[in-house]
Structure 1
């Protein structure tokens, strides 16, 4: 009879848990999470189908990956899981046997920590400036630009997010936010300082200067036009001689921007954006010889007699790892590729092509297995039946598998 009662009780518990709502929780890798439903005197905590901890007036932790990670507060009755890792994501069940008898199910998702955003000024003019918000990782991270309380630009997969600020909006509050479902980090921006508009407040005392400028500026422009016409005329006379001289000079130790071969292809707003050379940073990206490269080294020479310091850039092609070098004046702009990364689960491999599935269940079969050791590792993992994911990098409408990681 006791055995029949246990079976009936177990059936009731399973039936009630099958219809119970699953509560969703999020945590950050390396952090902790407290499960909000208590076990007062007696109960269990399970992960998946395995019991992690048991309470009988005191806590007992079972051997396994949760040893030294699960805490129980005997005052509140709540469990806390510390030192969260990505593989701690999954289904947790709290089964309270005394006090309020209940079974509560949670779905915990552990995310990587949000990288702190950094903001750089990449281009300036008298009426606007371009700010760039940048993070060093995009896995699960969304970038957002806020103007006051309004979101004016966002991206869920790019390493960087540009924003054009008009001078007429300098009094607004701007901030860049890097966020995922578990946390967010913010970089506040003082656009007056970032865009060199500290002295832009209108003042009636400046009116005489404005009148003077209205008279002087047209005179200066006239002089400039006359000088330009004389210079062009002089250059036209020497064009033939100059052409022959340039033809004999095949080596230029310090090329200027006009000498550089930028094969940008389809360089629309969605694939590249301009950045002042002095604002580039190591481990960032830049277009060298028409190829998207990661900057591995950059040095700046002292200001020369012509008034411009030069920046020497060394980069590795993000797809081929080929080395490229270039030199540009620090005040000139370079094209920076919009580089995005996205993770896919590998679900198939046929005739050298991967079958991939994203977080939303969408599939694609247009990417080849990469060459070299990475391709061999992918083929080996697939033959062994391993569950794993690949990172796909995209730049200038070119995509390639660039990383492998085990599924959590």
Structure 2
């Protein structure tokens, strides 16, 4: 069951003309610059913006066509906004029960949603007594006890600090396997997207200009996201072993081993790493006397000259492409050219991680 749409909406000088698809498996990120139309698209899909034309289909259900427009309350959409939007006069338990009473077939049982989001000790509190992270966990639990056929998450972590984000990221990562419905996640943070998403839609000036697997899209130099100063490549590996003495963990990535700061988990557990383009260096030979522990053989595909003395280079590995940001002088000294064989050098301390599985 996929969510398919082709919609058009004019709001003053802004026009949304978006065509895309949200698959059932994994999390699909909707990314793009501020004002590109991310939240507007979400509101149209949810039925909160009724002036749109075109079509929206979820599997065999049609929510929008030339003949009909299904109202928001009949679209079976689970929504989580930036502020949680909880009912302030009800306790946490009351908010859950309010949603549960209106669900014909809850996506998750009440206790399962409570356990997944870790809110059991909050049930008797009111929203005004909760921290920002707690409110968002309650809002997520509330959306899961409805009969939602799709989850729409509108920057649910944007108002939280880093400490509050981490437990929510771990919870959100479990959603595809726990609920089995399309999940569309709106964010302006590439790090959030890199840790959470499997697919992506890139929207600019009201149009979906690219879509597909997350890693191919984020490393496509034809797209703006790959040319940003904070561009990154998400990669998935698994724990190979721990080195207790040195406080390191060995990550299996294809046939390569990457050393990162010690993380929890057992050998075989999945781990997602974010390789920031600015944290990769390139060398003609594998160094033998360097403090950098990770060196990976790569092949030059192409590069983008930013015009400010810097280049972003797209490199091929056995598991797919990744990006490195280097100076134009470095590119010249390396005699950079397509097909060239190099080594990507990656500092261990530059690798944030996130377990892929719970």
- Taking structure 1 as the reference length, the TM-score comes to 0.24
Q: Compare the two structures and name the one with the higher strand fraction.
A: 1
Larger Rg: 1
Report which structure shows greater RCO (CA 8 Å, sep ≥6): 2
- Taking structure 2 as the reference length, the TM-score comes to 0.26
Q: Compare the two structures and name the one with the higher helix fraction.
A: 2
